[in-house]
């Protein structure tokens, strides 16, 4: 989770960039502890509904029940808690399940879902999920990663490079890859301001770096922050689960509506409308504030006044 340790490391990065004063760091460090208390830790592991899903929306079913000659599309989901679907109460609401059934309907073909995503995973740990996925080589892979990378103590560029290495490996093996880039952490209300603005700046910078490197590696990048942030900002009660950090069933459904066309297109089977693309200026982009400017403003506010 994006807990206090993650937030503190974000503050260290911000302090390096902009020179946080002791008072400013103390305030932001206190805000990180507050956010951890409000968000809390997950009560349960994510649900699982891996297996073969059918075009009629049913599943998972045993492979032995498939019609003779029916060969499922192998679809693997990798990444962090957002990929795993943490926050939903029913298996049918898992993003992997929704996507597998959507793919099955679009392709009129069974889809075998394998979820390797792990709660708390960072880009440093993604390679082991690729190893697991390649045991039964998938035809299509979805990766959602980035929200936990702040805990890795690595620069944004290196986090993106690690993701690119995994994408390159999969694409080189003949796998079609779609990546949902880092979401906008500034939409998480339990993170107070100005810490939330720092989290937003970091997550949007990572999302941009991920998009560039994924596309250069031959994958298909979906900018989740640009495409979903406006919905999560304006409808937080509906789009977040009770922890106000992970998406709710409605939040995941919105993400699936954006990801499914790109997944179909990645394997050459999309016949719907135009693919979702990032607007020139999204709500998330309009809300960006450079970290140095935020830190300088905070330092001015907390600077002791001379009597």
Domain span at residue 147?
Answer: 42-289
What's the structural domain count of the chain? 1
pLDDT at position 155: 87
Q: Is 216 a catalytic residue?
A: no
Please state whether beta strands 51-53 and 111-115 pair in parallel, antiparallel, or not at all (unpaired).
antiparallel
Tell me, yes or no, whether 11 lies in a domain.
no
Query: Terminus-to-terminus CA distance in the chain, angstroms?
Result: 44
Tell me if 115 is assigned to some domain.
Answer: yes
Is 81 among the residues known to form the active site?
Answer: yes
Q: Which of 80, 149, 184, 243 is catalytic?
A: 243
- Of the residues 32, 149, 246, 282, which is catalytic? 246
Examine the residue annotation and report whether 246 is marked as an active-site residue of this protein: yes
As a whole number of angstroms, the distance between CA 145 and CA 167 comes to: 12
How confident is the prediction along the chain (307 residues), in pLDDT tens digits per residue? 444 444 544 444 444 444 444 444 444 444 444 444 444 455 567 899 999 999 999 989 988 888 888 899 999 999 999 999 998 999 999 999 999 999 999 999 999 999 999 998 999 999 999 999 999 999 999 999 998 887 667 789 999 999 999 999 999 999 999 999 998 887 776 666 667 777 788 889 999 999 999 999 999 999 998 888 888 778 877 888 676 677 889 999 999 999 999 999 999 887 776 776 644 333 333 444 444 444 445 444 544 544 4
Identify the pLDDT of residue 120: 85
In a domain, 127, yes or no: yes
- Enter the pTM of the model: 0.79
Which pLDDT does position 192 carry in this prediction? 61
- Token pair, residue 33, equals 């502890």
Cis peptide before 60 (omega within 30 of 0): yes
pLDDT of residue 65: 84
* 303 within domain boundaries: no
| Catalytic-role residue among 50, 53, 80, 81 | 81
Reference 160, options 172, 145, 176, 175; nearest CA is: 145
**Cα–Cα nearest to 143, from 78, 86, 209, 212:** 78
The b-or-e profile of 102-123 (16+ CB within 10 A means b, else e) is: bbbbbeeebbbbbbbbbbbbbb
Is 209 part of a structural domain of the chain?
Answer: yes
Q: 221 in a domain, yes or no?
A: yes
Kindly report the CATH number assigned to the domain that includes residue 188: 3.40.50.1110
pLDDT of amino acid 157:
93
So what's the pLDDT on residue 31?
41
């Amino acid at each position: 989770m994006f807990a206090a340790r993650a937030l503190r490391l974000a503050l260290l990065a911000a302090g390096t960039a902009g020179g946080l004063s002791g008072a400013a760091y103390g305030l932001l460090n206190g805000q990180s502890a507050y956010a951890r208390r409000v968000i809390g830790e997950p009560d349960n592991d994510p649900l699982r509904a891996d297996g073969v899903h059918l075009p009629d929306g049913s599943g998972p079913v045993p492979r032995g029940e498939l019609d003779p000659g029916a060969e499922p599309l192998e679809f693997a989901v990798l990444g962090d808690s957002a990929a795993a679907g943490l926050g939903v109460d029913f298996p049918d609401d898992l993003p992997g399940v929704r996507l597998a059934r959507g793919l099955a309907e679009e392709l009129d073909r069974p889809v075998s879902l394998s979820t390797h995503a792990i709660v708390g995973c960072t880009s440093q740990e993604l390679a082991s999920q690729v190893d697991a996925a390649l045991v039964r080589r998938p035809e299509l892979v979805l990766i959602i990663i980035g929200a936990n990378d702040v805990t890795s103590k690595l620069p944004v560029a290196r986090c993106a490079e690690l993701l690119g290495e995994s994408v390159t490996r999969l694409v080189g093996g003949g796998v079609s890859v779609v990546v949902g880039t880092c979401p906008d952490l500034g939409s998480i209300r339990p993170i107070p301001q100005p810490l939330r603005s720092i989290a937003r700046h970091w997550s949007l910078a990572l999302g941009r770096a991920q998009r560039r490197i994924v596309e250069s590696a031959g994958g298909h990048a979906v900018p989740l922050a640009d495409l979903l942030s406006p919905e999560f900002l304006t409808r937080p009660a509906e789009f977040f689960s009770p922890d106000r950090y992970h998406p709710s069933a409605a939040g995941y459904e919105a993400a699936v509506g954006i990801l499914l066309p790109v997944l179909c297109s990645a394997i050459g089977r999309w016949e719907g409308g135009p693919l979702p693309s990032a607007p020139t200026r999204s709500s998330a982009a309009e809300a960006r504030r450079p970290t140095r400017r935020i830190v300088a403003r905070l330092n001015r506010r907390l600077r002791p006044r001379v009597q």
